[in-house]
Amino acid sequence: MINPSQGPLRPCDSRQTAPGKLKAIRSRRRRDVTISSNLTPLRGIVRFIWHSKAESAKRGESIGMYNRESISGGNHPALNERTQHLLKALVERYIRDGQPVGSRTLARDAGLDLSPATVRNVMADLEELGYLHSPHTSAGRVPTARGYRLFIDALLHLRPLDGREVEMLRQRIDRPAQNGAELARTVSDLLSGFTRLAGVVMLPRRNVVTLRHVEFLSLSDNRVLAILVLNTQEVQNRIIQTRRPYSTAELQQAAHYLNEQFTGKDLQQVRESLLRELRETRDSLDRLMETVVEMAEQTFETEPAGEDYVVAGQTHLMQCADLSDLDKLRQLFEAFNHKRDLLHLFDQCLHAEGVQIFIGEESGFGALEGCSVVTAPYTVEGQVLGVLGVIGPTRMAYDRVIPVVDVTARLLAAALNEQGS
C-alpha cells in the first residue's frame, strides 16, 4: 500500500517508486525496468536502450533489461507518489478499455484507501496541469498527449518478449533467399502481426556515390571513354555510345562544366538535375549543354532508387476506435502513399540510439495527430541502414509495442550482418 502522506516525487526518479512494487518487479526474471534519474528532457522522444545480460542478446537469445533514458518534451512538475500512482492507473485502464475513467473506477483500480471525492480532486489537478481532459462534462477523464508522455517517461513497466516469441521472430527474419525488399516486407508483416498496428520498415539507404572528378576521351565509332573519380579515390572507366562524334574540345568543355558545377555532389542528384534542365529547356540548349547532358545522362546512370519503405497492416488502423473518423483515416492513408513527411520523420531517427517514441503532434506531422509512432534504427557493422517501427493510435499498449519494435530491429540487424558476412 502506498502511503498518501509521502512527500513530493520527481517523475523520473525510480528510487522513490513504491518499495513493494519495485520488489515485485525485480523478482520477475528478465522484467527489470530501471528509470534513470537526473535526466535532461528534449522535445518529443523517449529512448529505451537495451542492456543484455549476455552478449548473445544481440541475436535475441537472451532477454535482458531495458534502461530508460528520458529525452522527452517539456519539464514535468513534481508530482507526489499518490498522484503518479493514480495517473498510471488511469492511463492503464484507458489503454485497456478505451472508455473515460471515472473517480469511482479509478479509486477501485488504484488499490488506495481513498474516497472517490479525493480521487476526483486529484484528477481535477491533473486536468489543470494538462495531463488529463474530460471528453464530456459528465464523463470521466482520458489522458492527453502530455499525460501519455509522462506515463511513458516515468511510469511505464515494459513487458519483454518471452523466448518463444523471440524465436518466432528470428525464424521468420532468418529465412534464406530473401533480398532486401523481401526482408523488409517480412519484417513489416511481423511488426503488424505482433502489435495489430501498421508496421513500417524503411529500406536500407543506397550508398551515396560522390563525384570528385570526370574526364572524357574520344574513341572511335561515336564512343567516348568516361573516367570518373568517385568518393575519396575510387576510379571507374565507362565507355558510352553517343549519338554523334564529339571533338576533343567539346569533351573538355563538358568535363570542365561538370567538374565546376557538380564536384562533391551525389551522382544521382547530378543526373536528375541535368535531366530536369533538359526537360525544361530542351528547345533553347546551346551546343555545350547538349554535350554535357548527353555525357551525363549515360556516364552518371545509376540504379533506380525503388521503394523508400514498406508498410503492412494499414487495415488494422481501421479497426481502432480512436481512428474511426473517416477523414482522419484518409489523411493517414494518404501520408503512407505520399511518403515525404514520414520519410522526414524516419530520417530524424536514423541518428538516434534506441527506441524513439513520438506522441501526437510531437511528430510535427498533421496527419499523425492522435497517433503515436514507435521506431528503432537497425545497423550493420555499426552503420545505421534504416529505421523500422509501428504507427497506431496514441491509445496503444506501449508496454508491449516498445519491446516488439526493439527486438525486431536487433534481429533484422543480425540477419543483415549474416547476409553480408
At 110-141, the pLDDT tens digits run 888 899 999 999 999 999 999 999 987 667 89
In a domain, 3, yes or no: no
Number of structural domains, the chain? 3
Q: In this structure, are 389 and 337 located in the same domain? A: yes
DSSP code string of 295-329: HHHHHT-------SEEEE-HHHHHT-GGG--HHHH
Residue 172 neighbours by CB under 8 Å, 6+ apart: 186, 190
What is the CATH number for 221? Answer: 3.30.390
Q: In this structure, are 287 and 338 located in the same domain? A: no
Q: In this structure, are 142 and 247 located in the same domain? A: no
Q: In this structure, are 26 and 116 located in the same domain? A: yes
Q: In this structure, are 406 and 314 located in the same domain? A: yes
pTM over 0.85: no
Give yes or no for a contact between 360 and 369, defined as CB atoms under 8 angstroms apart: yes
329 pLDDT band (50/70/90 cuts)? confident
Between 284 and 65, where is the model more confident? 284
2 has a pLDDT exceeding 50: no
Nearest Cα residue to 398 out of 104, 77, 88: 88
Rounded-to-integer distance, Cα 393 and Cα 413, Å:
27
